[in-house]
Amino acid sequence: MALRLKELAQKKDLLSGGHRACAGCAGTTVIRQVLLAADVPVVAGCATGCMEVVTTIYPYTAWRIPFIHNAFENVASTISGVEAAYRALRKQGKIDREIKFIAFGGDGGTYDIGIQALSGAMERGHNMLYICYDNEAYMNTGIQRSGATPHGAATSTSPAGKKIPGKREFRKDLTSILAAHDIPYVAQAVPSHWRDLMGKVQKALSIDGPSFINILAPCPRGWRFKENESIEMARLAVETCFWPLFEVERRTWRLTYKPKEKRPITDWIGRQGRFRHLMKEENKHIIEELQANVDYKWEQLLKRCEG
User: For the domain that residue 86 is a member of, what is the CATH number?
Assistant: 3.40.50.970
**Percent residues over pLDDT 70 in the chain:** 99
CB 149 within 8 A of CB 137: yes
Is residue 2, in this structure, part of any structural domain at all? Answer: no
Is residue 224, in this structure, part of any structural domain at all? Answer: yes
- The total domain count for the chain is 1
pLDDT value for 2: 60
pLDDT 10s digits, 240-286:
999 999 999 999 999 999 999 999 999 999 999 999 999 999 999 99
User: Domain span at residue 83?
Assistant: 17-306
Is residue 85, in this structure, part of any structural domain at all? Answer: yes
Is residue 136, in this structure, part of any structural domain at all? Answer: yes
pLDDT value for 72: 95
Is residue 7, in this structure, part of any structural domain at all? Answer: no
Chain Cα centroid distance, residue 218? 10
CB 226 within 8 A of CB 205: no
Is residue 5, in this structure, part of any structural domain at all? Answer: no
C-alpha separations of 81 from 25, 160, 213, 241 in Å: 30, 42, 20, 37
Is residue 293, in this structure, part of any structural domain at all? Answer: yes
Is residue 112, in this structure, part of any structural domain at all? Answer: yes
C-alpha separations of 262 from 24, 88, 277 in Å: 26, 49, 24
pLDDT value for 305: 97
pLDDT 10s digits, 49-100:
999 999 999 999 999 999 999 999 999 999 999 999 999 999 999 999 999 9
Angle at 192 between CA 299 and CA 38, to 5 degrees: 105
Backbone φ and ψ of 117, nearest 5°: -65, -40
pLDDT value for 88: 98
